[in-house]
Amino acid sequence: MAVNLSINLNKVALLRNQRDGDCPDLQAAGRTVLAAGADGLTVHPRPDERHVRRADVSLLSALVAAERNRRPGVEFNLEGNPFGADYMALCRAVRPDQATLVPDAPDARTSDAGWDLRRDGPRLRPLIAALRTAGCRVSLFMEADAAAMAAAAALGADRVELYTGPYAAAFAAGSPANATLARYAEAARAAEAAGLGVNAGHDLNLRNLPAFCAALPGLREVSIGHAFTADALWMGFDAAVRGYLAALGRLEG
């Protein structure tokens, strides 16, 4: 199964927001990565608009829709906390292909934990139903906990996105990755057994991605932003996309 590559443009937007104006141009970045072969765009707007802004969401959604006329199957993935004031309204406005629900606080620097479904499941259930009614595929940001996957499916989710921060940290520290990868593989198998598709994201990069993909043969999609943007500073956007496609085993490096 080919793993889709969705590029998160948050850090490009963060750079833009350091100055007035539109440099770097977020839409141009989106067009470039899609033209280079990425399968979609991801954004995760925060309430303070410190990187992606509300207006960006509409513009990038329209960009992906236009690209779909040329490349059927490209997708727009909108991440966010559905308990916040804006996320559900944005989803209703643009109807992203995928709504990835993340339990981050408004002031969080980045997403760093998955959902606690025992605590949050009852509130999530009607929101998941509303998003699916609007035509969105719903993915829940989850820890690599095999025991939680059936509960995610029972809430009506279509997919889970496995939070890969612990794997990336273990890989970076030079720790043996077998035990960590085994936990992710077990969670992925449990998700698939429950009828869920499996995505992954957070701190995945060109070095740690191949081993992760090899351990999870049913992986559907990875969403990569911070590491991609850092690599693109040296490699350029086109080459960085090709590098990540090669790391996913989709073309020769």
Tens-place pLDDT, residues 32-76: 999 999 999 999 998 888 999 999 999 999 999 999 999 999 999
Residue of 67, 75, 79, 161 marked active site: 79
Tell me: pLDDT of 223 over 80. Answer: yes
- What average pLDDT does the chain have? 94
Residue of 44, 51, 67, 161 marked active site: 44
Residue 143 designated active-site: no
Residue 13 falls in which region: left (phi positive, over 0), alpha (psi -120 to 50) or beta: alpha
Mean pLDDT of 96-125: 87
- pLDDT grade for 113, boundaries at 50, 70 and 90: confident
Q: Which fold has domain 4-247?
A: TIM Barrel (3.20.20)
Mean pLDDT of 113-126: 95
Instruction: Enumerate residues 6+ apart whose C-beta is below 8 A from 32.
Output: 237, 238
CA atoms within 13 A on the CB side of 202: 21
Q: 0.85 exceeded by the pTM?
A: yes
- pLDDT grade for 84, boundaries at 50, 70 and 90: confident
Residue 252 designated active-site: no
Give the three-state DSSP class for 48: coil
Distance (Å, whole) CA 103 – CA 144: 15
Residue 226 designated active-site: no
Tell me: pLDDT of 20 over 70. Answer: yes
- pLDDT grade for 1, boundaries at 50, 70 and 90: confident
- What are the structure tokens assigned to 7, written together? 């590029």
- What are the structure tokens assigned to 75, written together? 């997708």
Lowest mean pLDDT segment, chosen from 164-168, 174-178, 201-205, 232-236: 174-178
Burial, 180: exposed, middle or buried (Cβ in 10 Å; 0-12, 13-18, 19+)? buried
Question: Domain extents for the chain?
Answer: 4-247
